[in-house]
Amino acid sequence: MPPKVAAGSLERTDGRMDKRVQRSRAVVLSAAAQLLSERGFGGVTVDEVSRRSGVAKTTIYRQWPARTDLLLDTCEMFSTPLVTPDKGGLRDDILALTESLAERLRTARWTSVLPSIIDAAERDPEIADLYSRIQLGHSRPFEHIIRRGIERGELGSNVDIELMVACLTGPLFYRRWFSREPLTPEFARSVAESAIRAAGAD
């Protein structure tokens, strides 16, 4: 077990975060993220985070006065948004983005944690707000490339952007968390092609 870090060791100097504070925060968040991945929201307790990280509970509470504060910061580590591609055309952009999301759903650590976040969001407004931000990180790149396609004349101005995003992302989410079928690149491409055809893209 790592040695405990005393509460008095975490101080701010000159209005900036001390390097020891940064290190301790990183250790605590890493331990919390590991627990979140293993046990979901219910398994992340300050006692267990302290045990795993070697950081004293008093120190953790100084940085995160409530368990929810720690959970929010930990969840932020799982919410890296998708990168918006620009390959010169709507079809190539949608194919690239859909395949990228499928790959992330297959491999990223946050995919095992998201059901816990959704469950907690039903009862905690702060977690619900965090979940909304995570979802925006997935949907906004799709919205951006669809709007760009409209501006380029590749899509009609009457295209329902929200519906098209749902057609692109919904089947991927369904396979990841409901049917549990393989999220292959071929499936991602077929989803993209179907949505493109349904939207009447040029």
Q: What is residue 187's predicted lDDT score, i.e. its pLDDT?
A: 97
Q: 7: pLDDT confidence band, cut at 50, 70 and 90? A: very low
In this chain, the answer to whether the domains covering 7-76 and 90-199 adopt an identical fold is yes
Q: What is residue 79's predicted lDDT score, i.e. its pLDDT?
A: 63
* Tens-place pLDDT, residues 120-170: 889 888 888 878 888 888 899 999 999 999 999 999 999 999 999 999 999
Task: Give the DSSP letter of residue 155.
Answer: S
Cα end-to-end distance, the chain, whole Å = 61
Percent with pLDDT over 70 in the chain: 90
pLDDT at 9 over 60: no
pLDDT at 2 over 50: no
Domain boundaries, the chain: 7-76, 90-199
Q: What is residue 10's predicted lDDT score, i.e. its pLDDT?
A: 40
User: 150: number of CA atoms within 13 Å, CB side?
Assistant: 13
Q: What is residue 186's predicted lDDT score, i.e. its pLDDT?
A: 96
Q: And the tokens for 34?
A: 């590991």
Percent with pLDDT over 90 in the chain: 55
Length of the chain: 202
* Residues paired with 12 in a beta bridge: 17
Q: Does domain 7-76 have CATH number 1.10.10.10?
A: no
CA dist 147 and 124 (Å) reads 33
Which pTM was predicted? 0.74
Inter-helix orientation angle 125-151/67-76, to 10° = 20
Tell me the pLDDT of the chain averaged across its residues: 86
* Tens-place pLDDT, residues 10-40: 444 444 557 888 899 999 999 998 898 888 8
Q: What is residue 74's predicted lDDT score, i.e. its pLDDT?
A: 87
Query: What CATH class has 90-199?
Result: mainly alpha
Phi, psi of 5 (to 5 degrees): -95, 120
